[in-house]
Amino acid sequence: MKKLYLLMLCIASIPAMAQTSALKSMISKKADSLQSQIVAWRRDFHEHPELGNHEFRTSAIIAKHLQSLGMEVKTGIATTGVVGILRGGKPGPVVALRADMDALPVTERTPVPFASKVKTMYKGQEVGVMHACGHDSHMAILMTVAEILSSMKSELHGTVKFIFQPAEEGVLPGEVGGAEEMVKQGVLENPKVDVIFGLHINSQTEVGKIKYRPGGTMAGVNDMQIIVKGRSSHGAYPWSSIDPIVVSAQIINNLQTIVSRNINITENPAVVTIGAINGGNRSNIIPEKVEMLGTLRAFTKEDEQTLITRVKQIATKTAEAENAVAEVTIPYSTHYPVTYNDPALTEKMVPTLQETAGAGNLVLSPPVTGAEDFSFFEEKVPGIFFFLGGMPKGGDPITAPAHHTPDFYIDESGFALGVKALCNLAVDYMNEKGK
């Protein structure tokens, strides 16, 4: 009887498998046919970049496109965020797909004809604005995913929620934004999201490849401020001072022992970096105080707390030993959790990514010490965040222009693979759960 039941179950599943296969074949053909449209959207966004919480033109274009597809569209979420809701023709789970929209205060130096010439004011200075991290690509890819899945909505088991997020790169002091604010405003509710998928183009991964990692994928980040207070004096009479510059130098050197002596780097990497130090204004004046700014990065909550505790101990005690005072603020303005790919979900969906990318093109990624506020979504629901190749074939990842730099460059021929990957993840998950 048990064998008969299993046989009947297998037979019943054949039509569903055939239907899924047909949908994925259609997805592949549509993605390839829409390549020129993906590129056109991407180049338009690239030529007209907008900083975080100011993506007004960008979000209007996205909202108009989603509305043209017949979706329920919500705008103005977390300032400029856009959400489109596509309800499939059959019952099933709710899958969220996310793209970020903001550009960076970087002056572009690439020779492409659609290079950004936009300038704006940022922190009181005129700066160039550039999509120097690939968010223009993410938007174009997800807009295409929305078009393809909308065309087959009657066959979808469940609902797809398209999340276009502002301010992934952070906001100015005093502002709120990004994924954290979208979560606070209920973007994962009504309808309640079951899982979320997202991708990031990578300029140092070859076109045609997808990289992924279960568990901790991108680092959790805290920025920090350390203010060292001493006593000012004439530079000719340093014995009259409590020199905060010397104390700061000692603190910086001592901080380097945290990763080498307090973190088990055979399990997870960690980073302690001082990125700015400001104090004094003349060669012959020892200043009263010095400000340092830095970043801490870790892949577990335990390591994160170790970094925070040790930075505070080392800074305050080193200063105390020199009769100075150190005030430590962590986080200072930014905290992102670890971008954590749910291991069970990742294991379930790896075959989809493997099938989509093709033999030899799905690569297990090492931990990435960069950070992503996609992590705020993954704190609430299981998710997968993966990397899409954007480096020309045969390129050298060491010399390829890095993200957040004026020469950042993406090979557009890899976009269709990103479209197929997001579509297939959604379809496979929905069809599996919606049976």
Q: Given the residues 168, 181, 206, 342, select the one marked as catalytic.
A: 168
Amino acid identity of 20?
Answer: T
Select which of 50, 55, 100, 102 is catalytic.
102
Please indicate whether residue 72 is annotated as part of the active site: no
379 labelled catalytic: no
Question: In three state form, how does the secondary structure of the chain look?
Answer: CHHHHHHHHHHHHHHHHHHHHHHHHHHHHHHHHCHHHHHHHHHHHHHCCCCCCCCHHHHHHHHHHHHHCCCEEEEEECCCEEEEEEECCEEEEEEEEEEECCCECCCCCCCCCCCCCCEEEECCEEEECECCCCHHHHHHHHHHHHHHHHHCHHHCEEEEEEEEECCCCCCCCCCCCHHHHHHHCCCCCCCCCCEEEEEEEEEEEECCCEEECCEEEECEEEEEEEEEECECEECCCHHHCECHHHHHHHHHHHHCHHHHHHCCCCCCCCEEEEEEEECCCCCCEECCEEEEEEEEEECCHHHHHHHHHHHHHHHHHHHHHCCCEEEEECCCCCEECCEEECHHHHHHHHHHHHHHHCCCCEEECCCECCCCCCHHHHHHCCEEEEEEEEECCCCCCCCCCCCCCCCCCCCHHHHHHHHHHHHHHHHHHHHHHCC
Cα separation, 264 vs 271, whole angstroms:
12
d(CA 358, CA 350) in angstroms, rounded, equals 12
Cα distances (Å, whole numbers) of residue 51 to 48, 79, 103:
10, 12, 5
In the Cβ-directed half-sphere of 7, how many Cα atoms lie within 13 Å?
A: 4
Amino acid at 52: G
Active-site annotation, residues = 102, 168
